[in-house]
Structure 1
Amino acid sequence: MFQDFKLVGDRPVALQVKEYIKRLIIKGVLQADQKLPSTREMSSLLKVSRNTVIAAYEGLEDDGFRYAIPGKGSYVAATEGHLTTDAGGADGSAAWQIDWKARMNEYAVSAVELDMMKQGIRANKGVISFTSIAPDEGLFDLGDVRRAFMDRMAIEGQVLLNYGYAKGYQPLIDYLIRYMENKGIDTSGKDMLITSGFTEGFDIVLSALRPSARRGAAICENPTHHTAIKNLKLQGFEITGIPMERDGIDVNRLEKVLQKQTNSFDLAYLTPSYHNPTGIVMSPAKRSAVIKLMTRYQIPVIEDGFNEELRYSGAHVAPLIATAGQGNGVIYIGSLSKVLFPGLRVGWVLGDRALINHLESIKRARAIHTSTIDQSILYQYLLNGNFDKYIKKARMEYKRKYELTKACCEAHLPEAQLSGDGGLHLFLTFPASVDTRRLLEACTEQGVIFTPGDKFFIQEGEGTNTLRLGFSRVTDENIERGIRIIGQEARSFLQA
């Protein structure tokens, strides 16, 4: 006994000793009322100091696992509800086993099937990966983040460590509402809910708009964000996809679908700026046309503010919610995760005040509130004026990488049609004979991976000749080398 104790990491030694003895008690190796070795003996057995054992024994007593008899020593306290053997329960019964896979409902099974991270290819060490569209952490200004944290903790640290509000941290809400007003949005009659990133906000909105008596019906661009497809399907929505053109959604096709299926749709999900995966920015004319159609057919629009801040060139284009003016039919979901610190899980939903009132209650029922510390750090960082400085640096670097990636694609992949006006990725469409899943298999053998485009299409079998190239976290050398390899493999497919 006590021969398997090993110190690990930088954790306090006394804590490791206490937890080690506690595990022996819980497993039944040490029985109730059994005498423990003296502190001197235990220190010799575990090869730690006697003071360490004394502190560990005191901790065991505090936790209810040890008691002392003056003049006699330390003993194991009786415990209840723990296993006494590795094989079964305290009454000697066999270990209780449930087939959890058989118990999973349709929602859980679908979640696994639609889980892009589980189904996707893994990037081994040394592989050139174009799969990520996360920001480059090398651009993060850690000093400014650390300063924001210290500033906010000094002001109200004790408050931040307690429960927060389901609606969100009010100083951040006030800041973000002004931020949205600077985008040209009329916020009268509107309110905001802070969420743990875009995905939670989207899921909460879907759960509020999902019909109770039937399957929901949603309309969106095709292709579109895989996370949106996943959550729409998990929430029970049938999805109708509208093809994309060079300047955004095909408005004529959208109008024909709406005319044919009048009163059929519960919502529309659209990403007008730096669309995922195509990278297309919807033109101002199409934004106005879309709002007019949705107003005529009374279809609520969920606008994804994805990557809106990564504008490389051209004038600012107002969000759909700004185009709607004083109308309340657009729900804007925003997040800075693709440009600024995705580890701070903060997003927001801006919409009609009556809608936000209901979403707040759903949020409270599900998660109580988003991390107040995360919200407060982001608020102080923004308040300190760091965001403008950071975004200027990020735009310059991502624009440079965008132009390099685009030039490499034009040089090595002349057969592919490119789309993408900014952001962190490019979308490639090959001739129909190129199956990009087979292309991925060939490229993987050469140490290069990317995201097949069919993941972003509504119907199975669509987009099999497309792929998305994320360049934000790839070095210049690997961008050129990786795209050259993709080009070589693609040409072999075309020749075949």
Structure 2
Amino acid sequence: MFTDFKLMDDRPVYIQVKDYMKRLITKGALQANQKLPSTRELGMLLNVSRNTVVAAYADLEEEDLIYVERGKGNFVTPSAVGVTDAEALQVSWQVDWKQHLNELARTAEEEDIMKRGIRSAQGMISFTSIAPDEKLFDMNNFRRAFLDRMSLEGDIVLNYGYAKGYKPLIDYLLRYMENKGVDLAGKDILITNGFTEGLDIVLSSLNKKHGRILCENPTHHTALKNFKLHGFAITGVDIEPDGISLQKLELALSQQAFDLAYLVPSYQNPTGIVMSHEKRIAAARLLARHGVPILEDGFNEELRYSGSHVAPLIACGGGSNSIIYAGSYSKILFPGLRVGWLLADKELIDYLVSVKRARTIHTSTLDQSVLYQYLHNGYFEKYLKRAKAEYKRKYELAVQCCHSFIPCQRLSGDGGLHLFLEFEKEFDTRALLDSCRDKGVIFTPGTIFYTDGGGSNTMRLGFSRVADEDIIKGTKRIGEAVLQMM
């Protein structure tokens, strides 16, 4: 005994000794009322100082894991001793958990592309991610924002917060959305744990009168997964170079009734297409005429590299309360913060706040407050200029390389952090992926984004976290593999 203790460099030694002894006690390796080695003896056995053991024993006594008998030593508290292996065998029972899982859990596992997706080995060029490049993160100013907020109200932001969100951040986001041209009359904001929780809360709250959702085809895989988890049937409407096909949208609306329309008008995932201003107004009118509310995903809205600003759908609706806007800074700022928001009709937000409170109580107040301070200090505007310049450069390099090396039929992507490639109808990008993997390159085949099982001839290339030389090498290798398959 005591021979398997190993020290780690980055943790106080006395805590490591305490945790080690605690494991021995709670796992039953040390028996009730068993006398422990003296502080000097245990120090020698574990190769640590006697003072370290004294501090560890003091903590164990405070946690009532050991007790002291003056003049005799330290002993194991009987109530702290864990169940022995022999005792555990007597109550052993193996549950077949698959038989206890519901349809939601099964669907979530089936649709989990992180488990079934493309694995990136060391040294491989990966175009699968569309997350921001952490090398661009504004660490110094974020640290300043954190210290500023903690000095002002650290005792408050480390306590429970409000389900609706941190008020200074809500007020900031309301002004932020107003600057995008949104009429805020009758609207309010709910802070969420990123876009995904916002989507889940909305879907959980909807009355499934028709049980069907309308969206673009292809569209965001996470959204498709959540529609399925909530039991909605999905109708996809094809996308044209300037956004959703209005003709096919009108046809779908005339054939079926829908509970919700989910649209990604800016730098659409996966196509990267920006819906034109004219189409935004026409699509909003069509959906309003058929009584279908809209959930607008403000995905990558800030990553405009050229052209004029296009107002979000929710700004096209004027005083209408039929559009819900889901926003997030995850794709441009710090996705690790997991802060997003829903902007919608006040009455709806009031209900969504109650759903949020019942599920997660509130989004981390610390994260919200630090994000607010970062935004309030003006750091975001400076960071955005620098990040956009870098991503624009990478975007232009990626577009140039695709045109030079990959013989595709169509390339789309008006900005953002990814490009979308289409080949001839009979081309198979999953077979292409197998070939490219052997060449040390991976990407995302387009099939996961389609509502109708299509897209086998498409692929998404995320370039945000790929070095320049790897963008060049990777696209060359993909192009070589395409030519070999043609």
TM-score by length of 2: 0.98
Shift of 1:81: 8.0
- SS of 2:482's partner is helix
- 2:123 and 2:409 map into 1 onto residues whose CA distance is 26
- 1:245 and 1:60 map into 2 onto residues whose CA distance is 67
Structure 1 residue aligned with 2:49: 49
Within 5 A, what are the aligned runs for 1:201-212? Answer: 201-211=198-208
Shift of 1:365: 0.6
Note the alpha carbon deviations across 1:24-67, whole angstroms, 9 max, x for none: 11121111111111111111111111111111111111111100
- 1:421 and 1:181 map into 2 onto residues whose CA distance is 24
Aligned residues: 486
Within 5 A, what are the aligned runs for 1:81-230? Answer: 82-85=82-85, 88-89=87-88, 93-211=90-208, 216-230=211-225
Structure 2 residue aligned with 1:467: 459
Which of residues 322, 329, 348 in structure 2 aligns to 1:336? Answer: 329
1:387 aligns with 2:380: yes
Structure 1 residue aligned with 2:5: 5
- SS of 2:363's partner is coil
- SS of 2:472's partner is helix
- 2:358 and 2:200 map into 1 onto residues whose CA distance is 13
- SS of 2:171's partner is helix
Which of residues 355, 363, 372 in structure 2 aligns to 1:362? Answer: 355
Q: 266-275 or 14-23, which moves further after superposition?
A: 14-23
- 1:491 and 1:481 map into 2 onto residues whose CA distance is 16
Which of residues 472, 483, 490 in structure 1 aligns to 2:475? Answer: 483
- SS of 2:456's partner is coil
**Structure 1 runs of 4+ off > 3 angstroms?**
none
- 1:101 and 1:58 map into 2 onto residues whose CA distance is 45
Shift of 1:210: 4.2
Which of residues 274, 282, 287 in structure 1 aligns to 2:267? Answer: 274
| Contact 2:408 2:421 (C-alpha < 8 Å) held by counterparts | no
| Contact 1:418 1:429 (C-alpha < 8 Å) held by counterparts | yes
Structure 2 residue aligned with 1:313: 306
Note the alpha carbon deviations across 1:277-326, whole angstroms, 9 max, x for none: 00000011111111111111111100000000000111110100000000
- SS of 2:261's partner is strand
Note the alpha carbon deviations across 1:140-184, whole angstroms, 9 max, x for none: 110000000000000000001100110000000000000000000
AA aligned to 1:345 is: R
1:38 aligns with 2:38: yes
| Contact 2:25 2:80 (C-alpha < 8 Å) held by counterparts | no
- SS of 1:79's partner is helix
Q: 196-205 or 39-48, which moves further after superposition?
A: 39-48
Structure 1 residue aligned with 2:254: 259
1:243 aligns with 2:243: no
- SS of 1:339's partner is coil
| Contact 2:27 2:81 (C-alpha < 8 Å) held by counterparts | no
- 2:83 and 2:269 map into 1 onto residues whose CA distance is 51
- 1:80 and 1:96 map into 2 onto residues whose CA distance is 24
- SS of 2:292's partner is coil
1:20 aligns with 2:20: yes
Within 5 A, what are the aligned runs for 1:343-358? Answer: 343-358=336-351
Shift of 1:102: 2.6
- 1:296 and 1:215 map into 2 onto residues whose CA distance is 17
Supply the RMSD in Å over aligned alpha carbons. Answer: 1.1
Shift of 1:408: 0.7
**% of aligned pairs identical?**
62
| Contact 2:174 2:189 (C-alpha < 8 Å) held by counterparts | yes
- 1:306 and 1:155 map into 2 onto residues whose CA distance is 32
- SS of 1:307's partner is coil
Residues 14 and 240 from structure 1, CA distance in 2 versus in 1: closer, same or farther, beyond 3 angstroms? Answer: same
Shift of 1:94: 4.2
- 2:42 and 2:404 map into 1 onto residues whose CA distance is 70
Which of residues 401, 420, 428 in structure 2 aligns to 1:435? Answer: 428
| Contact 2:166 2:365 (C-alpha < 8 Å) held by counterparts | yes
- 1:250 and 1:88 map into 2 onto residues whose CA distance is 67
- 1:217 and 1:372 map into 2 onto residues whose CA distance is 35
- SS of 2:90's partner is coil
- 1:18 and 1:241 map into 2 onto residues whose CA distance is 58
Shift of 1:215: 6.6
TM-score by length of 1: 0.96
